[in-house]
Amino acid sequence: MKRTALLFSTAVLIALFFVGSSFGQDAATRASTPSDPPTVPVTTIVTTLGPKFTPAPAISKDDIAVYSGKTRVNIASLEAARGAKAGMQLALLIDDDDSPTALGSHFSEIKSFIEAQPPTTEVGIYYAQAGAARAAAEFSADHKAVAKKLRLPLGKFAGASPSVYLSLKDLVDHWPHNDMRHEVVMIASGVDRLHPGLQDPYLDDAIEHVQKAHVIVNTIYTGGFRLAQSLFLQQNAWRNLSQVATDSGGQQFFQGFETPVDFLPIFHKLNIQFGNQYLLTADMPQPSKGKGQLEPIHIKTEQNSLHLSYQPQVWVLGPNSEPKPGS
């Protein structure tokens, strides 16, 4: 009987030893498992619209889900761009290669659009010229004074920018650093005379800088009859303008290759867009090295009637980041 009890006690001790060893190994494994990667808060602009470009009902962060690749990320905040968050700087970037006659007939409409902006919006007028964005009027909330600085484009070759996308990049790179929304209304034919082919490195470079700086670009195609001699130029110009708008979270306005531009409905839609925007801050996984990189972002909603516009890539600061990315 004593021998049986001794054998049983020995077996229990051996079992406890192995259980303890296994627990110790599990604990060590858990301790050595890397924690979740660090995250960086990234703020981007989301435009919400209803059917046929109508204002959308208000939403909260519970109405959307944000993903980086296949990973769902935390939404730190979703704030309507109203009240204290309504501040915006709006740049009109006009291609100096555009037709003076065609654009001049719409001067009153463009001026009215500028003057109708709310006091929380600062407007600036810039002309795409010689690869740069030349300021006719710096950003100001004095809309009437800004509108007075509007002038006719210089016309073909007289003041032409060799690439309107170089001028867009220049505008973005020299934008004052602040917490306001940054948006562009780009009025141009879309033709890149430096690289008129299907693959345009100047366009790609401009889009990269736009995304790094979180700038929304809305484009208005003005090629029309001026490019009628080349269907290829027309289609490629429209495609380029469409791409820079889509990749920046903006809108591309195209009314056909033959008809002159009717600015009134375009400006009406733009004002609806400006009034239906949110500042979304999401905790994005931080790159493991470097100053930062563009990361994909996807925003989902179960509201079928709600259309969301936003940049498909956002700049996420790395561990060696500088205060002002994008240059």
Query: Is pLDDT of 2 > 80?
Result: no
d(CA 14, CA 17): 5
Stronger pLDDT, 154 or 284, i.e. the higher one: 284
How distant is the alpha carbon of residue 191 from its chain centre? Answer: 22
Shared domain for 104 and 195, answered yes or no, is: yes
First to last CA, the chain: 85
Position 224 confidence tier, pLDDT thresholds 50, 70, 90: low
Residues 16 and 60 in one domain: no
Binned at pLDDT 50, 70 and 90, residue 5 comes out as: very low
For the stretch 20-36, pLDDT in tens is 444 344 443 443 345 67
Same domain, yes or no, for 161 and 219?
A: yes
CA separation, residue 291 to residues 161, 204, 297, 314 (Å): 32, 20, 19, 14
- pLDDT value at 69 more than 60: yes
- Structurally, how many domains does the chain consist of? 3
Strand duo 277-285 + 292-296: pairing:
unpaired
Residue 58's contacts (CB-CB under 8 Å, 6 or more residues apart) are 80
Decide if pLDDT at 284 tops 70.
Answer: yes
Range of the domain at 243: 83-274
**Residue among 41, 46, 40 at smallest CA distance from 216:** 46
For residue 267, tell me if it sits in a domain: yes
Distance, in Å, from the CA atom of 298 to the CA atom of 57, rounded to the nearest integer, reads 21
Q: What is the pLDDT of residue 322?
A: 67
The answer to whether residue 298 sits within a structural domain is: yes
Residues 130 and 100 in one domain: yes
The answer to whether residue 323 sits within a structural domain is: no
Contact 66, 297 (CB under 8 A): yes
Question: Are residues 120 and 230 located together in one domain of the fold?
Answer: yes
Q: In this structure, are 191 and 154 located in the same domain?
A: yes
pTM, two decimals, is 0.85
Q: Is residue 256 part of a domain?
A: yes
* One domain, residues 129 and 177: yes
- Structural contact between residues 288 and 92, judged by C-beta atoms closer than 8 angstroms: no
Task: Round the average pLDDT of the chain to a whole number and report it.
Answer: 85
Q: Which of 52-66, 83-97, 248-262 has the lowest mean pLDDT?
A: 248-262
**191 and 58 within one domain:** no
CATH number at residue 160: 3.40.50.410
Residues 179 and 128 in one domain: yes
Share of the chain above pLDDT 90, in %: 65
Same domain (yes/no): 74, 167: no
Handedness of CA 294, 295, 296, 300 (dihedral sign): negative
CATH number at residue 55: 2.60.40
Whether 326 is in a domain gets the answer no
CA 309/CA 249 separation, integer angstroms = 5
What span, in angstroms and rounded, lies between the C-alpha atoms of 216 and 277?
Answer: 11
pLDDT digits (tens, 9 = 90+) for 292-310: 999 999 999 999 899 999 9
For residue 25, the model assigns a pLDDT of 43
Do residues 132 and 263 both lie within one domain? yes
**pLDDT > 70 in the chain, percent:** 81
Examine the domain organization and report whether 115 and 24 are in the same domain: no
